Amino acid sequence: MSAVTLTARGPAAGRLATLLAGRETLRVSLDAAAARFAARHGDPAGEVWSEGALALLTANAGAGALLAYARLGEGGGLGPSTLLAAAEGAMRVCRLAGGRAAEATLEACARLRPAGEAADFWAAFARLAEGAPDEVAPFAARAEQVWRPGQGAAFRHFVETGLKAAGRSAARRRAFFALEDPLALGLVARLGAALGLEDMDGQLRRVLLALWGGAPQLQALPPPPPGAAQRVNIAGSVLRLPAAWPALDAEGARHLYLASAVHAGAHLFFGNPRFAVGKDKPIQIALATLIEDARIEHLALRLYPGLRRLWAPYHRASAEDGPTVHALLARAARGLFDPAYRDPDALVEKAQALFGDAAGRLDDPAISREIGTRLANDIGQRRLRFDARGHVVEPAYRDDGLGLWDFSQVDPQVTAEVEMMVEAARIERREGEDGKPDAPPSPSAGRARPVSAAAEGVTLATYPEWDAQAGIERPDWVTVKAMPPVEGDTRALRRALDEAAPLRARIARLVMAAKLGRPSRLTRQSEGHELDIDAVIAEAIARRAGEVPELRVFRSSVLARRDLAVLVLIDISQSTRDRLAGGLSVLDVEKLAVALLAEALAGLGDRFALMGFASNGRGEVRVHPVKGFHEPWEAEGFARLAGLGSGLSTRLGAALRHAGAEIARVPSFRKLVLVLTDGEPSDIDASSADLAADARRAVLSLRARGIDSFGVTLAPAGVSGGGGAGREWPSGAESAAAIFGKAHVLPIHRIEDLPARLADLYFRLARR
């Protein structure tokens, strides 16, 4: 077509033709696309089409974006107004992220056809172009993995979450929007799921409590790679379930969650054995696991025959599935669950016969290894190939079986085979940002698992975090690591203690008085050093009424026994490096105060632990153990205290949750977490307001578990930062009052007063 024809259609078409002068090939392609669009929607639509193309051209989007726009209009289904909105959305993306990004988003729009949710689609990409322009094109190429019809708002939320989670880390942004980050994969899984673990958590806990008398902790598994199957994992007393089953509708997901949780709960109820791997081959492990699953289910069915209706729908294996080892294992699982099932393969028949012969020994887990080994020999004689890497336990409600096995001692000749099988089951393994594999989750929740380099610390646990802006609690959001203890030079700290001799003497007197205890009066005793007048009167009245008196008319007293545990959290973030007028740093004074308090606690005999903390984003909340609850306060702990150094940020909520997990295991009547901090929570990947809200939620969680928490905030004047320049101190006192509550905060305005005030505070809090 000619330029004259374009001009005849209207001002926008004419302007477009003028700007395309000299680019004849592109102009002809666009003119043809405009003509076809006008033929489909009417002549005015051709002018609207030209307005969209003109917007892209004036934004310098490039020929690729213009042709992608033309293809978008060619596909049909988009009216003039929707197409113009797409052009305007791509124009905004272009101005923020460039022409290639605009082209990629138009291509994504052509594939996805967002229709009535186009506003959400383009708003999400505009936000991504603003916050991470380099990630627009890669994410647009994968957008169909995230976009769900009817969930445009969720698509926008996904983008916003990725930007927020990555913070300032380009590597994290790249991994998230390339859909390689576990968080991104988890969100994608939940987007397509009608029902997730979050929706089922309460119901599962109630069912497990009713059936098995206890409600184990439930955690979501990290998301699997696309297309990979997931099974429940039993880690100690923790049940780890898939966050979602995207392929199932709400009723199917609910049924599978119930079947999976009840099966895993039965393992815990009947005693989950820990078989030593030793020289066992992967096929032996798989078959012993299968027999153990059958044994546990038979015991459960003795108690609750109705569970057969819960599990039976998943046993659908048959001879039609073929003779592979994977199919034979599924068929054997069905045969052991349903004695009426008949299978033509001798292996299934033998499994049923051996299990039937052991019916009188179902309380003995040893039968699982015995029968599993015999069946494994048969498979070996038939030279059937077992794919250890691709093995997935069937049926779908059964756990992965790893919780049954102790992999600490594996025969060197079979180590590689067994590790291949284990790694295949732990499908959440990912490549880290530094190119090294992330450490797989600990087999026992909350316990430390060493990583390759000592400097990286030991991963202790993951904890949730409250996102105040989104109004949700993100599970397994922060990772807490224990850093290697560093023993420092204790001379300066010992000199400071010597110089504080008067204060040490006063604390020693307080310790002596507290150790003596306070007498508690006991009334209505059968013997004692004086009469209980109220009891005597009551007994006299009983005699007059003709009743038999109890003769417990004495009273006595006993010294109250202290039963208190305290964990002291010491903020060692970068701001504690700041100097006071006398030359000491904030951290120096914190160390002195903690050393004095530790002396007092050791003298009292109270159980206590000391721990420093700092953070470097949600993936690295560092704790620096100084003294554990079961360690004496000796030179080693003193040297660790002296070795604490300042650095990084203050993610208080995660530190509080970890402190709560540590102190919860201590058998004491009263439990107290005492936090020593010099400012409001902060970190590189979250706002202070969000972190303060999360810390408040952590405090409330501790309180609900009967654990008290108290904040000591340092807000001194005359503090200087690096280089001695004065600065305004953060509003730590106000933030702490919002976190701990006004009655649970002690602001320290002269940091030199901290040692005395901290000791006095503890004796006040510990008073019975």
Which of 507, 536, 559 terminates a domain? The answer is 559
Say whether both 577 and 538 belong to one domain. no
Please state, in angstroms and rounded to a whole number, the distance separating the CA atoms of residues 735 and 746.
Answer: 12
Q: Does residue 48 belong to any structural domain of this protein?
A: no
**Same domain? 707 vs 571:** yes
pLDDT at position 429 over 90: no
Greater pLDDT, 122 or 541: 122
Condensed to tens digits (0 to 9), the pLDDT of residues 239-290 reads 888 888 777 888 998 999 999 999 999 999 998 778 887 778 888 899 999 9
Give the chain's domain count: 4
- CA 63 from chain centre, in angstroms, equals 45
Average pLDDT across the chain, whole number: 82
Tokens 């001695």 sit at which residue? 724
Question: Are 547 and 628 found together in one domain?
Answer: no
Asked whether residue 80 is domain-assigned, the answer is yes
- Looking at the chain, the whole-number percentage of residues with pLDDT higher than 70 is 86
Output the pLDDT for position 26.
83
Cα 139 from chain centroid (whole Å): 24
Report yes or no on 647 lying in a domain.
yes
Domain termination site, one of 139, 156, 191: 191
671 three-state secondary structure: strand
* Coil, helix or strand at residue 620: coil
Per-residue pLDDT tens over the stretch 624-663: 999 999 899 999 999 999 999 998 889 999 999 999 999 9
Nearest of 404, 383, 402 to residue 392 by alpha carbon = 402
Q: Is residue 75 part of a domain?
A: yes
Question: Does residue 545 sit in the same domain as residue 622?
Answer: no
Q: Tokens in use for 160?
A: 């916003």
Question: Residues 540, 571: one domain?
Answer: no
In terms of residue numbers, what domain contains 704? 564-766
Residues 587 and 713 in one domain: yes
**pLDDT of amino acid 133:** 93
Q: Which of 191, 217, 249 is the last residue of a domain?
A: 191
Banded model confidence at residue 702, pLDDT cuts 50, 70, 90: very high
Q: Could you tell me the CATH number of the domain that includes residue 748?
A: 3.40.50.410
Q: Is residue 368 part of a domain?
A: yes
Is residue 324 located within the same domain as residue 365? Answer: yes
Q: Decide: pTM greater than 0.75.
A: no
509-525 pLDDT, tens per residue? 877 766 545 455 677 77
* Residues 524 and 629 grouped into a single domain: no
* Distance, CA of 124 to chain centre: 25
Same domain? For 578 and 722 the reply is yes
> Within this chain, do residues 612 and 756 fall inside the same structural domain, yes or no?
yes
Asked whether residue 645 falls in the same domain as residue 540, the answer is no
d(CA 124, CA 173): 15
Q: Is 208 left (phi over 0), alpha (psi -120 to 50) or beta?
A: alpha
- The stretch 19-43 carries a mean pLDDT of 82
Helix or strand holding residue 414 (H, E): none
Residue 81 lies in a domain: yes
Q: Are 314 and 374 within one domain?
A: yes
> 86-95, 246-255, 577-586 — which one is most confidently predicted on average?
86-95
- What whole-number distance in Å separates Cα of residue 6 and Cα of residue 738? 65
Instruction: Determine, yes or no, domain membership for 20.
Output: no
What pLDDT score does 434 carry? 35
Q: Is residue 573 part of a domain?
A: yes
Cis check for the bond before 395: say yes or no (omega within 30 of 0). Answer: yes
Confidence of residue 237 (pLDDT cuts 50, 70, 90): confident
